[in-house]
Amino acid sequence: MTSIKLKTPASGEYEQPTGLFINNEFVKGQDGKTFEVINPTDESVICSVHEATEKDVDIAVSAARKAFEGPWRQVTPGDRGKLLFKLADLFEKNLELLAAVESLDNGKAITMAKGDVAACVGCLRYYGGWADKIEGKVVDTGSDTFNYIRKEPIGVCGQIIPWNFPLLMWSWKIGPAVACGNTVVLKTAEQTPLSALVAATLIKEAGFPPGVVNIISGFGKVAGAAISSHMDVDKIAFTGSTVVGRQIMKAAAGSNLKNVTLELGGKSPNIVFADADIDNAISWVNFGIFFNHGQCCCAGSRVYVQESIYDKFIERFKERTAKNVVGDPFDENTFQGPQVSQLQFDRIMEYIEHGKEAGAKVETGGKRKGDKGYFIEPTIFSNVTEDMKIMQEEIFGPVCSISKFKDKEEAIRLGNHATYGLAAAVHTSNLNTAIEVSNALKAGTVWVNTYNTLHHQLPFGGYQSSGIGRELGEAALENYSHTKTVSIRLGDALF
Ligand code: ADP
């Protein structure tokens, strides 16, 4: 069996594929292994899915290779675009189901899950539009030579995605890879394999040739490691923790030196100046850290508030956070559902205990919510010092660390006091402050008077240990293209 009937509170019964999606078919793993998928809301087992091991990775890679060398090459850029448009249309048509499966498996609030699927539609359409606009150049180096530079697909792309935005990461990875003419073997996170398999059915329905997009479920140390060290994978794109990012880069270097792009962790500063519109700033600070239960690599987890408004800010922020509804992800009023897994829940609770022991003040939260499911109260720590772990390490949960600053110079110094550099934000009504601080911060994205408002047209990625390369926007096309120089001698032989 490679599919079962499942139910979600929002969708009713549906057909959930459980196999590995290779060559447009759902198949069992070669070793016949399966693993359980847990519902984070009530800790029950939703179902089991087939697990990919090294042998399955080999099979998926050779399917992708065969497609790349064969039929996929014959598909015109315009037709690649049409396939992505069709896929986007199918995501739109199946938005309710995809969102429901996402909420079931990941625990994210259903309204947020619908937002994710809408963002997938935007992303897939955007890259569909790019497919026939990937152009080369003619470069004049003198009258005796004709040079042209062309963009070519890299080949078979291994893609490893995390559990915090299973469908959105699927689209961010597949959209640009396919637009540029590559083929793909994508491994989902072991915590959240379900929505990607439903989306795989849409790959087939959209009419992609077999082998162009292959989706496998499996564990990082087995299937993930097999992809990153595979000799016939030409490129690896990874989103996840910095620790694993390093391992992937080592595996790539130690195998065939495959091309690597990494989108890793963060500990992003959210800086509030005294001249900011305070209600606006509080809304964005709240959304910055508590959106997706704090499980965002760009979460605004370090909040720095100018000292003259520090006390007022904390009081009002607490009032705002108290309005965040934490509970059943299928309730339309819910803002925050459970954390994704027991492991994540335990890690976050450990950080909360550490913050308390280190002497930071718990302004609100600091405890588990209820006794079933991985729910954690939105937690705000004030008086957090720079040396505390909760100010330096990525918690990946609903935990906000706040401290104060005196002036612009101190805000910049504190903002840059981290090894990461994925995102940052500045809240101010002064245009000069906004631009000066934005330019000084070491971060791939700086938001001004907003937070977490990513857009598929805008590049996203990290400075420092937050990663290598940029996703989204035109920039992502670079990740998936080789640049070839062709230089033609027109004059007589020189030597
Ligand atoms: P988290 O700690 O938040 O779960 P990870 O970085 O461990 O994040 O996981 C992100 C993705 O990386 C998942 O798909 C996971 O299976 C995969 N992964 C984990 N370890 C490895 C590894 N050693 N090699 C390749 N992929 C891995």
| Number of Cβ atoms within 10 Å of the Cβ of 27 | 16
263 lines ligand 1 (CB under 6 A): no
Confidence (pLDDT) at 209: 98
Are 233 and 258 in contact by the 8 Å Cβ rule? The answer is yes
Ligand 1 atom nearest the C-alpha of 244 is 6
Instruction: Judge contact between 208 and 231, C-beta under 8 A.
Output: no
- Other beta carbons less than 10 A from residue 132's beta carbon: 15
How many residues are present in the chain? 495
User: What is the Cα–Cα distance from 50 to 34, expressed in whole angstroms?
Assistant: 4
- Confirm if 449 and 428 have CB atoms less than 8 A apart: yes
How far is the centre of ligand 1, averaged over its atoms, from the C-alpha of 252 (Å)? Answer: 15
> Which residue in the block uniquely carries the two structure tokens 């660390």?
401
Residue 228 CB–ligand 1 contact under 6 Å: yes
Q: Nearest to residue 372, comparing CAs of 36, 113, 7, 38?
A: 38
In DSSP terms, 293 is beta-bridged to: none
Residue 335: per-residue pLDDT: 98
Which residues belong to the active site? 263, 296
CA distance 467 to 244: 11
241 lines ligand 1 (CB under 6 A): yes
Q: What is the best residue among 244, 348, 395 to mutate for testing ligand 1's pocket, by most ligand atoms within 8 Å of CB?
A: 244
Per-residue pLDDT of the chain (495 residues; tens, 9 = 90+): 899 999 999 988 999 999 999 999 999 999 999 999 999 999 999 999 999 999 999 999 999 999 999 999 999 999 999 999 999 999 999 999 999 999 999 999 999 999 999 999 999 999 999 999 999 999 999 999 999 999 999 999 999 999 999 999 999 999 999 999 999 999 999 999 999 999 999 999 999 999 999 999 999 999 999 999 999 999 999 999 999 999 999 999 999 999 999 999 999 999 999 999 999 999 999 999 999 999 999 999 999 999 999 999 999 999 999 999 999 999 999 999 999 999 999 999 999 999 999 999 999 999 999 999 999 999 999 999 999 999 999 999 999 999 999 999 999 999 999 999 999 999 999 999 999 999 999 999 999 999 999 999 999 999 999 999 999 999 999 999 999 999 999 988 878
pLDDT at 458: 98
Contacts of 53 (CB under 8 A, 6+ apart): 29, 30, 31, 33, 218, 222, 223, 226
Residue type, 278: I
The pLDDT of residue 492 is: 83
Among 331, 292, 374, smallest CA distance to 9 is for: 331
Cα–chain center distance at 180: 20
The pLDDT value recorded for residue 1 is 82
What's the pLDDT score for residue 181? Answer: 98
Contact present, 123 and 175 (Cβ < 8 Å): yes
Q: Whose CA is nearest to atom 14 of ligand 1?
A: 189
pLDDT at 153: 98
Is there an atom of ligand 1 within 6 Å of 467 CB?
no
Cβ pair 196, 52 in contact under 8 A = no
CA atoms within 13 A on the CB side of 13: 3
pTM: 0.97
